[in-house]
Structure formats: structure tokens, C-alpha cells
A and B are shown apart, each in its own frame.
Chain A
Amino acid sequence: MSLRAVSKHFDDVVAVDSVDLDIGDGEFFALLGPSGCGKTTTLRMIAGLEIPSAGSLKIFGSEVGPLPPNRRPVNTVFQNYALFPHMSVADNVGFGLRMSKTPKADVARRVSEAISLVRMGGMENRRPAQLSGGQQQRVALARALVNRPKVLLLDEPLAALDLKLRQEMQFELKQLQREVGITFVFVTHDQEEALALSDRIGVMDSGRLLQVGTPEEIYDAPVDRFVADFIGRSNFLAGTLEAHDRVCLANGDRVTVPSVADGVVSVGDAVQVSLRPERVMIDRAGAAPEGHASLEGEVATVTFLGNSIVYRVALDWMTIEVETDHRPDLDRHEVGDRVAMWWRDDAIAVVRP
């Protein structure tokens, strides 16, 4: 599937702004972003529920941009499942097959296959209102998968479930995708869900697709401050890119950074260095090993979180958050202590401010 310069305007509001995206066959792809970032609109354009204002949308090489939803090889699992309340589970699941004029015998067989695939056997005659949230979720999945779409779209599929069920369904979803081998594109605002489930993630904000990459790439090498901030936590140190692998921080220190890819930022630009709290080492002042960029400051707060301790260290030009393991072999620092912080050169990323 490929999107080229796809945009969607609602009156004057730009919901999706010139998105380019390729999703491979059999991939589990997540569109991640805060609410209102355009991820759902993008999904709806793929589904055919919105027609793009501009751009080209191809599925398996054929242009589907202006086609109505019933003429696309995609199916959707809707946010609140949108099960038909006046039909039984079996009729819900068989709806797509009946609409596409599948022979009756095939419908019955495929419906029962799909129902057992999502482990809902024995519930065929129930109405959606008689099912729990997790069960409705499974029926919605079966209803979409039974049609053997080329692409399955999922709009916040787990948002309506409680935490425990959500984790369980995450696992099931991943397994199901491996079993059926269909491309899954799912929309979520939950970064953990995106990291846990997907092969690749596309991070969106204000209608723009900021970065596409594997969960590791997105986490370790964000290119945009928004991406680094939205996925996990991060400290942002302002500076200027002096060479493709060197940044001059706002306090005048020079730090070595992983080489910046072309097109993200160029030499001479104002940039920010993203420094994950758990990637920062902390020790007594002056104890920083040679050969590392380091900063010194005073501990402002200490927060104990059980498995970890979070220090907020005040520098004279900013505050840095550091997260360390809570282990007996590590020194604990108290409020007011002078400490040194350092990091490996490859532990940081240069991002667009």
C-alpha cells in the first residue's frame, strides 16, 4: 500500500497534510499520535470513508483514492466495534460475505472458521448487547477478517477495554496477525501499545507524518522533538549543530552526537539534543569518567518509584531528569548533593526543535 502526497481538508482545516507512506505486505503498522493529529482521518481515507482532497492512494498497485468503501479490498475494525445491534454474532460476522454474494455454504463455513479463529465458538446466536467488551472486540475482528481483506484497518481497537484485557488482546492481536498474514494498519494514541505491537510506527502530529520507523528507531533515534517527547520521556538540550556529528550546547559545551542524516537538520541549524532519562549515568561530582560529555548540577528532587529512582538535577541553565535503577550497588543521592551526569555518545539523538 502506498500513499503519495495525500491530504484531506475539512473546509479550512487541514486534517492530513501531504502524507507519503509505504506499508509493506504483511506488515503490522501503527499510526501513532495524539488525538486530532490526523491519524484516524488517514485511516478513514484508506478505508474509503473519506475521500482524499489531494494525492494518490494505491493498494497493491491499483489506485483506490475515489472508490467507495464497498469496492476496496480493505476492512475495518471500528473504534467502538460498530457491531450491528439487530443481528446475532453469526449474522454480524457473515455480513460482508453475504453482501459480496458469496455462496451460502461458503458463508456458513467461513463464518464458523472466523468465529473459532477469535475463540468465540458457542456464542453465534448472541446479540452484541449480550457480549462483554472483549468479546465484542473479537466479533469485530472476525467480522473484518472473514472477508480475507488485503489490508485490515484497526481504529483504536483496544481503547475501550480496561488495562488488563487490553494487554491480553494486544498479545492476541499480534498472534492473530501472524496467523493470518494480512497487513494490519492500526491507529492508536497509546505509545506503549504501538511499541509493543508494531513492526513499524508512523508518528503523526497536526496532520503531518513526522517519522516512520521500527519501534527501536523511533525510540532511539527520533528526528523530531515531538516524536522524542511523545514516545517515552526525554530531556531536551538546546544547541547548534556545528558539524554533522557535533553539537554546541547552549552552555557552550561541545558534545559528540550520532551522525545526523541529511534532510533532517543541516549544519548551522538550531537543534535540540534528546537525552532519555534512563540513558544518563549519575555519580558524585567529579566522578565522571574521562572521554565522555558530562554535566554537573545539584539534585533538586528525588522520586522513588520502586524499581527505579528519578532525580531532577538542576543545572544553572536547565533541569535534567535522570532515571536510575534502584539497586543496592548504586549510590543513592540526596537533595542538595552535587552530582555529575554523563552518557555514551550514541545514547542521544539530535532532533528538530
Chain B
Amino acid sequence: MTVLPDADALETALGEAERRGEVAERRRGLLLALPSFAYMVLFFAVPLVIVLVYSFATRTSSGSTALSDWNLEAYRKLGEPIVRNVVIRSVVLALITTVLCLVIAYPFAYFCATRSATVRNLLLVAVMIPFWTNFLVRNYAWRLLLSSGGPISSFTESIGLGPTEILFTKTAVVIGLVYAYLPFMILPLFASIDRLDWRLVEASRDLYASGPASFRKVVLPLTMPGVIAGSILVFVPSMGAYVTPELLGGGKETLLGSYIVTQFLTARNWPVGASLSFVLMAVMLVSTIIYFRAGGKNL
């Protein structure tokens, strides 16, 4: 006589097998993530800790850094007017860059998202193309374009506006930064506009909203995640930008990136450079988190 296993026991056994499968799955996932995890720890977390350690160290009179006498001197230095001015200047410049990127990118992303698949893919590839060229090379290209006697200057001169002197001004820096970070604004905006449910726009039009009103009340609020993500992606690197302000601004006005480099290389004050880097990063990280949290709740 065969004894059939009773239903409860069978169920328990099945549940056990399923659970074991899940555990195995999780273990496999962890294994797959291990290389990238190791990479991040080695090349991101460890250097970060080193920066943090150095920010508490002491600068010796000879300009070297003594890893002893731990103190907060470097952080105290950040409160000095000279640093404050650099920070304010950088924030203003980064804000201008972000707003300009937003104003340029939104209509473009909107246009892209409302085209046929072929056209939008073509346009998006066009957005990515600049990345195929070295960033430094592109900055030098702008230097050429903006230089006195360059194409832009010649053009304004030929139409009777006189030569333009853009290179080595704040304008040149903003142009360079907008150019460099525009794709970071376009892509998240495109993604959020593409996800937009157009029936909601139709509904708003049906409920007496004019075109502009429909944009203000429905399209913009619903694509806000893209606006926020894009703004962060542009604002954060603009704050710490180094190459573009140096090459196009001629280093006339010190911005955060240049200031940090100066602290490390010229002033040989590693603790100050380290503390400033660390504070910059921490502020950015915290504000990003707050921003996303707030955004997540509203949308």
C-alpha cells in the first residue's frame, strides 16, 4: 500500500523549496554585483575616506601635510570671506547655467518626445554625438569659436555690430558650461515628457484650459521629476567645474573647482582643499536627497 503524503506536509515542503530558491537567487544576485561593488569601494569609497582624513590633518610650514595633530583648522578656514566669495560666485554661475539649460532643453525635449520613433532616435543620437569627442578638445574648440578674430567675432563685425570679446569672460564660461551639460538636462526631461499621459492634456483642454494653461497646470507639474533630475545633474557638476572656467574664463575669476585645485597644487594646503571638497560633496548630496524626497512626495 502506498502512503500518500498528506497535503499539509506537501505544502510545507513546497514552501521550503521555494524559499530555498529565493535565497539562491539572492545569493546569485549578490555574486553578480560583487565586481562593481568592489570597484566602487576601491575607487570611490576609499579615496573619499582619504579626503576626509586629510581634511583633519595639519599643513606644516614647509607645505607638506602632517597626518598628526588632528584638528578642524581647515574647516574654520572655509568661513573666511575669500572662500565665501568663491562659493557665492560658483553658486550664481551654476544657477545661471542650470536655468539656461532648462530653458533650452525643455522645448527640445518636448519636441523630441512628440515626434515619431525615427525622428526622436535621430535627435537623441545627435544629443549624444558630442560625447564622442574629448571634453578638453571641445573646450578648445569653443576657445577658437569665441576668440577675438574667431568666427563669431568676425560674423558680428561683418553685420556691423563690431567685434565681440567673449573669450575669457563670465559669458564664455556660461556658454561652455551650458554646452557641456545640456545633454544631462535633455535626457531626464525627455524621459519624463515621454512618460507623460497625453490623455491628461486632452482632459485639461476639454476642461477649458487653453494651450499655455494646460502646460502650466498639467504638463509642467507632471514632468517636474525630469526638471528636478536634470537640474541636479547640471547644477552639481557646474558647481565644481574646473576645465571650462579655466580654459574659457581664463582663470580670471576663481571658482570652486579652480580654488580647490589651487589649494592642492599651488598653495599646497591639502587639508583646506580636502575639507572644501568634502563639504561641497556633502552639501550636494544632502540637498539632492532632500530635493528628491520632496519631489517624490508631491508627485
Contacts and interface: CB of A to CB of B under 8 A. Distances in A.
Interface stretch (A69-77, A232-240, A249-257, A339-347): A69-77
A96 B213 CA distance: 11
Contacts of A100: 208
B222 A99 contact: no
B207 interface: yes
B222 A69 contact: no
- DSSP majority for the B interface? helix
Contact of B203 (A74, A78, A86): A78
Given A76-B203, A147-B207, 4 more contacts: A70-B207, A96-B208, A99-B209, A99-B210
A70 B203 contact: no
Contact of A49 (B206, B210, B213, B222): B206
A75 B205 contact: no
A75 B202 CA distance: 11
B62 interface: no
B208 A82 contact: no
Given A76-B203, A78-B202, A99-B213, A86 B208 contact: no
A85 B200 CA distance: 9
Contact of B298 (A48, A68, A76, A86): A86
A86 B207 CA distance: 16
A327 B149 CA distance: 102
Interface of A: 47-49, 68-70, 74-76, 78, 80, 82-86, 95-96, 99-100, 143-144, 147
Contacts of A70: 205-210
Contacts of A99: 204, 207-210, 213, 217
B31 interface: no
Most chain A beta-carbon neighbours within 10 Å: one of B199, B203, B205, B209: B203
Interface string B197-225: 10110111111111001000110011000
A185 to B, nearest CB: 14
A96 B202 contact: no
B120 to A, nearest CB: 20
Contacts of B202: 49, 69, 78, 82
Most chain A beta-carbon neighbours within 10 Å: one of B197, B208, B222: B208
Given A86-B221, A86-B299, A96 B207 contact: yes
A38 to B, nearest CB: 18
A276 B213 CA distance: 54
9 contacts: A48-B206, A70-B205, A70-B208, A82-B197, A82-B203, A84-B203, A95-B204, A99-B208, A147-B207
A48 B209 CA distance: 13
B199 A68 contact: no
Most chain B beta-carbon neighbours within 10 Å: one of A74, A78, A82, A144: A82
> Sorted from nearest, which 3 A-B pairs have the closest CB atoms?
A96-B207, A82-B203, A99-B208
Most chain A beta-carbon neighbours within 10 Å: one of B204, B206, B221: B206
Contacts of B203: 76, 78, 82-84
B299 A95 contact: no
Nearest to A44: B202
Nearest to B199: A82
B62 to A, nearest CB: 60
A226 B113 CA distance: 40
Contacts of A74: 206
Contacts of A49: 202, 205-206
Contacts of B199: 78, 80, 82
A91 to B, nearest CB: 10
A47 B206 contact: yes
A75 to B, nearest CB: 6
A86 B206 contact: no
A95 B217 contact: yes
Contacts of B206: 47-49, 69-70, 74-76
Contacts of A80: 199
Contacts of A96: 207-208
A241 B100 CA distance: 76
B200 to A, nearest CB: 5
